[in-house]
């Protein structure tokens, strides 16, 4: 049976297009219930009496039908293993897919879990449940009617199946069908049509066996706020927003909240380079960090400037303070903000008038202890300072105290000071290593759930062996003396090297990269998961793999003494490292040895070792030095960043020792050949695929980015030339001070802060002049050498394989638009992985210094208006030494302010206190300790020891015998034995 679906669509030119489609209806679609004796069931029953829902509202067996809004709003409730025997209509499934891809994915996982008894009923193609759209009926009203029609049919259909004498003799109560909808209008129509119906909230409250499930309900409003006075201006309707944007009366951009000042934020728009400043609660108008908002620009006379003061919201329980008093407090705070900004350069300022699209997510944080006993209403404080506090209802507050929990935002009405949300789940105890790592991963949006069964189904079956057919298709390099050099403990070995002398006196050098693309085929679930993750994320003592461990640490890892598939890039070079020829091929290799950087360095330095591996390493090292010098001469930059390594207790996973990472010649040796391979492959794929090659560029920073570097160097008597990368490189080489061996490293750290972010892009989207990689001084560059931990490299492998005929091409590989979307995701994932890694280092640093005080030598990196930015070379740490405490003593130090006056000189960027003057790069001694007063935001405190300023510097302990001041000895280091004693 078929029917016709007619609808109209407006074209870009304004014409009306009538579209007619055939729609097939069937009468053989099963209902999925074990009670039914009429339908043909082509699979096992999914709606059974064994898993009945026990409700005090409906004290008889029943199935549930959900409407679209229940799925969208109450997904956290649905994910709990409570509700069973649920009929999922395709009308609802399609609407959810259209409105939220993330919720659709989560709901799909529930539906496919056969233990949950969720049955998908194809109501849109059943002859008795299809609803044709009526004249003047909106699509939403038609879908609501279709849901009611299907629910009514289901109930009638089951009652007919249960009206037999056999069923009556069984004495069982009849099973009914109940519609859950939060739409009051839809509920009223359902009741009028004789359908059993209730709201999601009422139904969840009726489940007496699961009282805590109420906490997970999405709340649009709280009872006592329904009549509250508005605290924010109203948002414009979507129609008004679109009209304002079209007429350029409004501007659209992403909102970025300030970490330091809760009354300030900015909106990035194309029209203004630095974005639009937003100041004040009413101007912020309920925007949350990340939201896409519409902004109205204020008249230029009302423009302000970003403040440099820190403002934290003091009064969390807003209802307990009269609105007038609160408003007065905020006016005072806003005056402070604008007064602090009055002397600075004014920037475009505006106010948010509407939300184009919310970008709410799940947030980690803690519950604020309530001042009212036995209340269910609580304030949630997010770990991310950019996110406002969230009001939730929970009946398990006592249990959740000192726990990290996850909360999501449901709505933010005008009459509420804070957004409304609901509790999702607890992560674990505050301060626990596993819990804190989970917070880092969630806050940085790192996908870290277990790989699904569908993903794992595409892995090779074990035991896996290389077949004769494999050998025939690949170049056999098992006899070559190939070796790998990696950090200690590395199990995901991407790359290996070889170098051998040729009969003509030249050298053959090979870079052999794990052939991950052989195991991950385009378009399958494993490929999609790897593309979504984008990169492996490294935390301290923990790794979140991009691909399953069977590949990352086993079949793809180029471990020593085992045959593995590789993608080889081989050059013939002369003794001056000039490339004479190159070739690419898929290969089979057998690494002769997997070494650490230190082990390889020992072999190179030990002249008594003359085996093939030693000869290969020495030749590679010699060639690498030539390649590096050539790069430096071309303008490549040697940058620096303070990097540290932790020794972690294998049982408690807490840091035992912290040290700066050591760099050896072998680090540079491997790096040079990886760079050479990446550049060689980039040139090749850009030639073969001029429109769709995956490349990586590093934009040249704008001159203003270098201002802090140029000024800091000038005050030390050095001239930094930024006209080109080559001149900058030469300038950095000259920044050397005999009395400060760390000076050049600090200058390079400052230079690193001036750089732009390197990004992936598709060759056809930019002009060739824009391909340039500024940091490497390379005209073209890509990533080829780490496919186990970067999806970009897998894409490059596929392009290279297609270009040499080693693998077939496919449509998406050559689609520029889809590849640009992949690059956008890769850039985002790479950035978040970096931030997560830094957060993990900060967490472990805090754990290391917990209960300790250490005096360490350091250097002033920056001089600020009220602080010194200090670098501790021993630990690679950087922190702030505050020179003036604010009136609230936020830096946690009690100081005698009457005698201590620091004067900031804007001309030469110095701070003076009496006879003591602080310049950039000056040596200082500071005392490091951990401030745990804020349990959620612990921070490392830097206090001045030397130079000594009376009343400000730390008073050191004195030896009673001679009265001389001596620094207190640092506490002894933790050992594993000490940890176990505890």
- Same-domain status, 776 and 876: no
- Residue 924: inside a domain, yes or no? yes
Domain count of the chain?
5
The stretches of 112-207 forming alpha helices (DSSP H) are 139-161, 165-170, 184-192, 200-205
- Same-domain status, 425 and 558: no
- CATH number of the domain within which 378 lies: 2.40.50.700
pLDDT value at residue 330: 67
- Residue 268: inside a domain, yes or no? no
Angstrom CA distances, 666 to 105, 592, 652, stand at 46, 17, 32
Which residues of the chain carry a pLDDT beneath 50?
Answer: 318-322, 885-898, 958-982
Phi/psi region, residue 660 (left: phi>0; alpha: psi -120 to 50; beta: rest), is beta
DSSP 546: S
- The answer to whether the beta carbons of residues 510 and 568 sit under 8 Å apart is yes
- Same-domain status, 769 and 749: no
- The answer to whether the beta carbons of residues 518 and 588 sit under 8 Å apart is no
- The answer to whether the beta carbons of residues 155 and 195 sit under 8 Å apart is yes
- Residue 177: inside a domain, yes or no? yes
- The answer to whether the beta carbons of residues 742 and 735 sit under 8 Å apart is no
- Residue 460: inside a domain, yes or no? yes
- Same-domain status, 531 and 666: yes
Q: CA–CA separation, 922 vs 944, rounded Å?
A: 13
Instruction: Render the burial of 634-659: b for 16+ CB within 10 Å, e for the rest.
Output: ebbbeebebebbbebbeeebbbbebe
pLDDT value at residue 820: 92
Q: CA–CA separation, 147 vs 180, rounded Å?
A: 10
Residue 227, Cα to own-chain centre: how many angstroms?
39
- CATH number of the domain within which 55 lies: 3.40.50.1010
915: CB partners within 8 A, 6+ apart: none
Q: In 3D, which of 892, 906, 900 has the Cα closest to residue 948?
A: 900
- Same-domain status, 400 and 477: no
**pTM (2 d.p.):** 0.80
- Same-domain status, 865 and 747: no
Q: Beta partners for 589?
A: 564
Q: In 3D, which of 270, 191, 219 has the Cα closest to residue 412?
A: 219
- Same-domain status, 158 and 135: yes
pLDDT value at residue 44: 62
In which domain, by residue range, is 408 found? Answer: 362-430
pLDDT value at residue 705: 80
The 10 Å Cβ neighbour count of residue 522 is: 18
- Same-domain status, 690 and 706: no
Residue-wise pLDDT tens digits, 918-949: 888 888 999 888 887 776 777 888 888 888 88
Q: CA–CA separation, 571 vs 623, rounded Å?
A: 12
Phi then psi for residue 307, to 5 deg, are -85, 160
Phi then psi for residue 527, to 5 deg, are -65, -45
- Residue 863: inside a domain, yes or no? yes
- CATH number of the domain within which 876 lies: 2.40.50.140
pLDDT value at residue 148: 93
SS (H, E, C) 288-341: CCCCEEEEEECCHHHCECCCCCCECCCCCCHHHCCHHHHHHHHHHHHHHHHHHH
- Residue 230: inside a domain, yes or no? no
- Same-domain status, 912 and 810: no
- Residue 751: inside a domain, yes or no? yes
Kind and range of the H or E run holding 55: none
Residue-wise pLDDT tens digits, 61-101: 899 999 999 999 899 999 988 888 899 999 999 999 988 88
**CB burial of residue 206 (10 Å; 0-12, 13-18, 19+):** middle
The DSSP result for 697-752, as a single string, is EBPPPPGGGGHHHHHHHHHTT-----SSHHHHHHHHHH--BTTBTTHHHHHHHHHH
Task: Classify the C-alpha dihedral 314-319-325-328 as positive or negative.
Answer: positive
pLDDT value at residue 967: 37
- Residue 607: inside a domain, yes or no? yes
SS (H, E, C) 364-416: EEEEECCCCCCCCEEEEEECCCCCCCEEEECCCHHHHCCEEEEEEEEECCCCC
- Same-domain status, 627 and 705: no
- Same-domain status, 678 and 721: no
- Same-domain status, 545 and 635: yes
- The answer to whether the beta carbons of residues 310 and 886 sit under 8 Å apart is yes
- The answer to whether the beta carbons of residues 373 and 312 sit under 8 Å apart is no
């Amino acid at each position: 049976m078929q029917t016709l679906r007619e609808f109209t669509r407006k074209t870009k030119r304004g014409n009306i297009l009538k579209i007619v489609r055939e729609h097939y209806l069937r009468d053989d679609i099963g209902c999925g219930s074990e009670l039914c004796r009429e339908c043909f069931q082509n699979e096992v029953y999914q709606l059974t009496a064994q898993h009945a829902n026990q409700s005090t509202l409906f004290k008889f067996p029943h199935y549930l039908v959900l409407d679209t809004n229940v799925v969208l709003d109450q997904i956290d409730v649905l994910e709990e293993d409570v509700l069973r025997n649920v009929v999922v209509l395709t009308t609802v499934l399609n609407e959810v897919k259209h409105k939220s891809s993330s919720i659709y994915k989560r709901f799909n996982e529930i539906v496919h879990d056969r233990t949950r008894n969720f049955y998908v009923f194809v109501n849109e193609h059943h002859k008795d449940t299809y609803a044709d759209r009526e004249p003047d009926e909106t699509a939403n009203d038609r879908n609501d009617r279709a849901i009611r029609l299907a629910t009514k049919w289901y109930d009638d259909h089951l009652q007919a199946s249960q009206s037999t004498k056999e069923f009556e003799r069984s004495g069982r109560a009849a099973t009914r069908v109940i519609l859950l909808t939060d739409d009051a209008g839809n509920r009223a129509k359902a009741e009028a049509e004789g359908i059993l119906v209730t709201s999601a909230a009422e139904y969840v409250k009726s489940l007496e066996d699961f009282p805590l499930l109420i906490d997970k309900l999405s709340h649009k409003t709280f009872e006592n706020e329904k009549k509250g006075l508005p605290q924010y201006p109203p948002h414009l309707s979507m129609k008004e927003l679109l009209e304002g944007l079209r007429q350029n009366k409004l501007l659209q951009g992403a909102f970025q909240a300030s970490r330091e000042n809760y009354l300030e934020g900015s909106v990035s728009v194309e029209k203004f380079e630095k974005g639009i400043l937003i100041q004040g609660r009413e101007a912020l108008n309920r925007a949350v960090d990340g939201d896409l908002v519409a902004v109205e620009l204020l008249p230029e006379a009302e423009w302000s400037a970003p403040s440099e003061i820190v403002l934290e919201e003091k009064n969390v329980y807003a209802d307990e303070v009269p609105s007038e008093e609160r408003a007065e407090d905020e006016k005072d705070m806003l005056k402070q903000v604008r007064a602090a900004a009055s002397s600075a350069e004014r920037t475009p300022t505006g106010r948010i008038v509407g939300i184009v699209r919310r970008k709410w997510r799940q947030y980690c944080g803690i519950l604020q202890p309530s001042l009212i006993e036995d209340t269910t209403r609580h304030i949630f404080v997010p770990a991310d300072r950019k996110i406002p506090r969230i009001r939730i209802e929970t009946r398990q507050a006592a249990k959740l105290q000192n726990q990290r929990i996850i909360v999501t935002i449901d709505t933010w009405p005008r009459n509420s000071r804070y957004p409304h949300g609901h509790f999702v789940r607890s992560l674990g105890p505050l301060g626990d290593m596993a819990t804190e790592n989970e917070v880092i991963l969630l806050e940085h949006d790192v996908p870290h759930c277990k790989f699904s069964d569908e993903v794992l189904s595409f892995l090779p079956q074990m035991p896996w062996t290389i077949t004769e057919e494999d050998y025939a298709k690949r170049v056999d390099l098992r006899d070559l003396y190939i070796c790998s050099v990696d950090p200690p403990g590395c199990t995901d070995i991407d790359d290996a090297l070889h170098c051998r002398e040729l009969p003509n006196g030249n050298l053959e050098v090979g870079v052999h990269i794990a052939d991950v693309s052989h195991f991950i085929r385009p378009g399958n679930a494993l490929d999609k998961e790897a593309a979504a993750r984008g990169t492996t994320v490294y935390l301290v003592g923990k790794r979140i793999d991009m691909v399953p461990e069977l590949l990352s640490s086993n079949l793809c890892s180029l471990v020593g003494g085992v045959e593995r598939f590789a993608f080889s890039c081989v050059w013939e070079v002369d003794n001056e490292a000039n490339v004479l020829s190159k070739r690419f091929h898929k290969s089979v290799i057998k690494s002769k040895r997997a070494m650490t950087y230190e082990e390889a360095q020992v072999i190179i330095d030990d002249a008594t070792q003359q085996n093939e591996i030693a000869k290969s390493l020495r030749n590679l090292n010699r060639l690498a030095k030539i390649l590096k010098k050539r790069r430096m001469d071309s303008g490549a930059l040697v940058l620096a960043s303070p990097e540290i390594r932790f020794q972690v207790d294998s049982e408690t996973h807490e840091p035992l020792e912290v040290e700066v990472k050591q760099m050896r010649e072998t680090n540079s040796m491997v790096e040079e050949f990886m760079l050479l391979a990446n550049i060689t492959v980039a040139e090749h794929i850009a030639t073969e695929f001029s429109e769709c090659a995956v490349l990586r560029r590093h934009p040249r920073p704008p001159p203003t980015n270098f201002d802090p570097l140029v000024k800091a160097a000038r005050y030390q008597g050095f001239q930094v030339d930024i006209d080109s990368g080559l001149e900058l490189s030469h300038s950095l080489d000259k920044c050397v001070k005999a009395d400060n061996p760390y000076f050049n490293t600090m200058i390079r750290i400052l230079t690193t802060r001036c750089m732009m972010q390197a990004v992936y892009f598709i060759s056809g989207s930019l002009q060739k002049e824009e391909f340039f990689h500024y940091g490497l001084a390379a005209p073209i560059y890509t990533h080829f050498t780490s496919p186990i931990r970067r999806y970009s490299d897998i894409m490059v492998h596929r392009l290279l394989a297609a270009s040499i005929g080693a693998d077939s091409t496919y449509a998406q590989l050559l689609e520029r638009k889809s590849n640009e979307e992949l690059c956008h995701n890769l850039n985002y994932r790479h950035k978040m992985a970096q931030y997560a890694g830094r957060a993990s280092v900060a967490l472990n640093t805090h754990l290391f210094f917990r209960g300790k005080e250490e005096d360490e030598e350091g250097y002033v990196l920056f001089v600020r208006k009220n602080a010194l930015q200090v670098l501790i070379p021993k630990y690679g740490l950087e922190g702030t030494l505050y020179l003036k405490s604010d009136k609230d003593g936020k830096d946690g130090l009690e100081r005698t302010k009457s005698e201590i006056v620091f004067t900031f000189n804007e001309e030469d960027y110095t701070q003076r206190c009496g006879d003591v003057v602080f310049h950039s790069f000056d040596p200082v001694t500071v005392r490091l300790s951990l401030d745990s007063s804020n349990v959620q935001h612990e921070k490392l405190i830097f206090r001045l020891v030397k130079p000594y300023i009376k009343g400000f510097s730390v008073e050191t302990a004195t030896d009673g015998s001679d009265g001389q001041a001596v620094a207190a000895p640092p506490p002894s280091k933790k050992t594993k034995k000490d940890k176990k004693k505890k």
